[in-house]
Amino acid sequence: MKDISLNRILKVVNTLIAVAAAALVCAVYWIAYRPLPSLSGSVPAFLEREATASRDSLGVAHIAAATGADAFFVQGYVTAQDRLWQMDTLRRAPAGEISEILGPSGIESDREARRFRLTRIAEAAALTMPAADRAAFAAYTRGVNAFIGTHTGQLPWEFTVLQYSPRPWTIPDSILVGMQMFRSLTTSWKDELQKRAMLSAGDAAKVNFLFPARLGGEVQPGSNAWVVSGALTASGKPLLADDMHLENTMPGVWYMIHLKSADGLNVSGVSLPGVPGVIVGHNERIAWGVTNLHYDVQDLYQERIDSESGRYMFRGKLEQAHLETDMIRVKGRGALEIRNWVTRHGPLVVTAEKEAFALRWTAAEPGIFQFPFLDINRAKNWQEFTGALARFPGPGQNFVYADMEGNIGYHAAGQLPIRKGYNGDVPVDGASGDFEWQGFIPFDQLPSAYNPPGGMIVTANQNPFPAGYPHPVNGNFAPPYRSARIRSLLSAKKAWRAPDMLPVQSDVYSQFSHFLAGSIVSAYERRKANNPDLTEAVELLKRWDGQMAQDRSAPLLVTLSFQHLRKAVAESASGGSSAAYENPIASAVIERLLRDRPAGWLRDYDEALLRALSDGVEEGRRIQGRDVKRWSYGSYIELTVPHPLGSQLPWVGRYFGIGPVTQSGSQTTVKQTTRRLGPSMRMVVDLADLENSLLNVATGQSGQILSSHYNDQWPGHRDGISQPMPFGRITAKDTLRFVPETK
């Protein structure tokens, strides 16, 4: 009897397990597999003539259409196929609508977004943008909505789990996506507050030394782009390379696309999900790449404003701010009311301890929004290219250029404010006219170069403005380490080919860290120190070659020492406070101090270096053990890229993201890496033969977890390997036809 009972129990248990497994399989199929897009067959669409989207082995859509408008329609459709939930969050984040789908965890993000007034800016821009730009945005919008409208019951799994459906796409939504990128690349208002906090208790001269020429506060996204003329290549024609460094996300920032139409459009590269056209890439005649200029396009104004009436003073006269009220819908909680005063300078973005700061930002200037990338996509030469750039609103960017005729060029672009007598401090009440903007720097006065004698142009976020420039220059420019290293590597040979550029993009030598290691060793030897705890560390630094490699211990040792030295320097400037000073320019500031050793900063520079080393050794031992030789730098800057929703799922969350993985590089290496930032794409364009060009993104084309293209590009991207960028010779794995609807 006992055996019979046991067998029955086992049968019941096995049956329950089988049922549970079957239910799980069904749920996975219904929620995650069923929404995978159809990549072949036909789709009825409002187009002039039939169009196709042929996917290659990486899932990249090569679109062929009769007109540019039809191509943008298809681009909107296929991007939504792969990235719809990402697109929805990219419009929600700047609009301050994350709480509506995620609940209370999104409230603070939404509050800040609403203070920036981005929805109002986008809606106004949609009415004033040039007609040609608007037509392209409208075509893209129709494509996105064609997908949404035919897949209401077959949406990506995130919509199912969060129990909501996306609203129809609009032109302002595409503008909001662009505004979100603008916002992430321009955050100097936070730097002004940091500097102000340090000035409140510190030495003004020292604090200003730490922020030379208004060089930034928090870690900024950085990028590399360069172009070499035929004089330095094996083919005799230019090579152009670009690798934009942004915050790591899952899915990645960029979406690869190829657009071709019978009316003259033929362009390939990376696009921004939610926006038409190609942002970085090449067409049949030219190629271009970009890096962030980091010019300061934001100012804070301290306003003495009455919080009840909205009255404030400007140049001794009473003015009236206008009140804007918004409602933030919070999932599970109802709605929150947000009230904000807007002055002549802009909205109050910070209010604390009876202080209020209004933000003026170029993105909010009336009528400023335009989208010249659509003209860049069609440009055939330098004149058409710069003609399009002249109407680029921002964020300020460095553009590098090459063409099939062998020309190379560079031009800074964007609406950059002209300021007089401005030193980066927060103005009070706009009391002086010197604090008011005097317009924008004319495009033809921005830094530029065309076929320079050296046959090489390099931009890595360094300051491109020459000495004696006619306007005051303020910006979060990067130290020159990356640009100098790139120039050094490119100058080492004269027969460059496209694949040769990948090791340059992946280079992890740090000139600054190598210098700091040498300074520590010299200080130790000058002092003739005999400290067993430091001798081993010094020997490691003495033998080190400056490579910030993941499997080495010396990079971690010098990184920790730098952090402690930076803290000591910041405390000296800020009156002993522990104010954070983590801006990118800190490395260049520290190097200058160590080379010049001015009085009044550190009592004894050698002693300070050895103290930083000692503190670094102690910290490293706490986190990685006593044996310094066994430390791993790569483990210290370990990278984890979670999916914003999938990572929260129990048991399976880690499969939705990347990592943790060790990595090489630093903020001062060509391959710029931190725990947050890294290369978001890599591109090399060969103007001798476009079929030799290379392109990859960080993760993959799709944002859907069960797609074979969810993260198929990550291994190569991690290892510095890229893929061909097919342009004329395309091998299609799947083709989706878009057939005009009969009326």
Closest CA to 370 of 233, 544, 178: 178
708 three-class SS: coil
In tens, the pLDDT along 702-739 reads 999 999 999 999 999 999 999 999 999 999 999 999 99
Superfamily of domain 511-637: Aminohydrolase, alpha-helical knob region (1.10.1400.10)
Mean pLDDT of 523-530: 82
DSSP symbol at 302:
E
Q: Are 392 and 372 in contact (CB under 8 A)?
A: yes
Is 511-637 in the same CATH topology as 43-185+222-506+641-743?
A: no
Tell me whether residue 573 is exposed, middle or buried, using C-beta atoms within 10 angstroms of its C-beta: 0 to 12, 13 to 18, 19 or more: buried
How far is it, in rounded angstroms, from Cα 299 to Cα 188?
8
Residue 446 neighbours by CB under 8 Å, 6+ apart: 411, 412, 413, 416
Degrees to nearest 5, angle at CA 327 with 324 and 329: 160
> Range with the lowest mean pLDDT among 78-92, 113-127, 645-659?
645-659
Q: Is the pLDDT of residue 613 over 70?
A: yes
For 217-367, where are the E strands, in sequence order?
223-228, 239-247, 255-261, 266-271, 280-283, 286-292, 298-302, 311-314, 317-320, 322-330, 334-342, 348-352, 355-361
Q: Are 625 and 632 in contact (CB under 8 A)?
A: no
Q: Are strands 355-361 and 334-342 parallel, antiparallel or unpaired?
A: unpaired
How far is it, in rounded angstroms, from Cα 499 to Cα 492?
16
Residue 106 neighbours by CB under 8 Å, 6+ apart: 98, 99, 100, 330
Mean pLDDT of 73-88: 98
Where does the pLDDT of residue 214 fall: very low under 50, low under 70, confident under 90, or very high at 90 and above? very low
Q: Are 694 and 266 in contact (CB under 8 A)?
A: no
- 173: amino acid identity, one letter: D
Residue found under tokens 């790449």: 289
How far is it, in rounded angstroms, from Cα 428 to Cα 430?
6
The continuous run of DSSP H or E covering 469 comes out as none
How far is it, in rounded angstroms, from Cα 63 to Cα 698?
22
Q: How many CA atoms lie within 13 A of 66 on its CB side?
A: 9
Query: Residue 427: what pLDDT?
Result: 52
Q: Is the pLDDT of residue 342 over 80?
A: yes
How far is it, in rounded angstroms, from Cα 686 to Cα 227?
10
Three-state SS for 160-197 is HHHCCCCCCCCHHHHHHHHHHHHHHHCCHHHHHHHHHH
Mean pLDDT of 562-577: 86
Where does the pLDDT of residue 32 fall: very low under 50, low under 70, confident under 90, or very high at 90 and above? low
Six-digit token string for 349 = 């973005």
Q: Are strands 41-45 and 734-740 parallel, antiparallel or unpaired?
A: parallel
Query: Residue 431: what pLDDT?
Result: 40
> Range with the lowest mean pLDDT among 11-25, 319-333, 467-481, 539-553?
11-25
Residue found under tokens 């209004």: 358
Would you give the end-to-end CA distance of the chain in angstroms? 75
Q: Are 582 and 195 in contact (CB under 8 A)?
A: no
591 three-class SS: helix
Query: Residue 352: what pLDDT?
Result: 66
Six-digit token string for 643 = 């999916």
Mean pLDDT of 32-37: 70
704 three-class SS: coil
Q: Are 164 and 48 in contact (CB under 8 A)?
A: no
Q: Where are the domains of the chain?
A: 1-33, 43-185+222-506+641-743, 511-637
Strand partners, 322: 342
Query: Residue 330: what pLDDT?
Result: 96
Query: Residue 221: what pLDDT?
Result: 57
> Range with the lowest mean pLDDT among 11-15, 97-101, 109-113, 168-172?
11-15
Six-digit token string for 667 = 């903020």
Residue 481 neighbours by CB under 8 Å, 6+ apart: 510, 511, 512, 587, 588, 668, 669
CA 40, 42, 44, 49 dihedral sign is positive
Q: Are 66 and 91 in contact (CB under 8 A)?
A: no
Where does the pLDDT of residue 422 fall: very low under 50, low under 70, confident under 90, or very high at 90 and above? low
- 705: amino acid identity, one letter: I
683 three-class SS: strand
Query: Residue 219: what pLDDT?
Result: 41
How far is it, in rounded angstroms, from Cα 216 to Cα 373?
28
Closest CA to 156 of 606, 644, 577: 644
- Output phi, psi for 210, to 5 deg: -75, -20
DSSP symbol at 8:
H
Q: Is the pLDDT of residue 206 over 60?
A: yes
Report percent pLDDT > 70 for the chain: 91
Distances in Å between the Cα of 504 and the Cα atoms of 351, 689, 713, 716 are: 46, 21, 19, 15
In tens, the pLDDT along 163-199 reads 999 999 999 999 999 999 988 887 777 777 777 777 7
Q: Higher pLDDT residue, 20 or 137?
A: 137
Q: Is the pLDDT of residue 545 over 50?
A: yes
DSSP 76-120: HHHHHHHHHHHHHHHHHHHHT-SHHHH-GGGHHHHHHHHHHTHHH
Strand partners, 334: 330
Residue found under tokens 């370990």: 638
Residue found under tokens 């800057």: 637
How far is it, in rounded angstroms, from Cα 57 to Cα 730?
10
CA 507, 513, 517, 522 dihedral sign is positive
How far is it, in rounded angstroms, from Cα 492 to Cα 669?
18
Mean pLDDT of the chain: 90
Q: Is the pLDDT of residue 690 over 50?
A: yes
How far is it, in rounded angstroms, from Cα 438 to Cα 417?
7
Where does the pLDDT of residue 598 fall: very low under 50, low under 70, confident under 90, or very high at 90 and above? very high
Q: Higher pLDDT residue, 204 or 411?
A: 411
Residue 542 neighbours by CB under 8 Å, 6+ apart: 517, 521
Query: Residue 17: what pLDDT?
Result: 65
Report percent pLDDT > 90 for the chain: 72
Where does the pLDDT of residue 12 fall: very low under 50, low under 70, confident under 90, or very high at 90 and above? low
Residue 27 neighbours by CB under 8 Å, 6+ apart: none
- 341: amino acid identity, one letter: W
Is domain 43-185+222-506+641-743 in CATH 3.60.20.10, yes or no?
yes
Query: Residue 205: what pLDDT?
Result: 81
CA 97, 103, 109, 114 dihedral sign is positive
| Helices and strands per DSSP (H, E), number in the chain | 21, 26
In tens, the pLDDT along 396-406 reads 999 999 999 99
In tens, the pLDDT along 256-282 reads 999 999 999 999 999 999 999 999 999
Q: Higher pLDDT residue, 328 or 24?
A: 328
Closest CA to 643 of 634, 651, 630, 653: 653
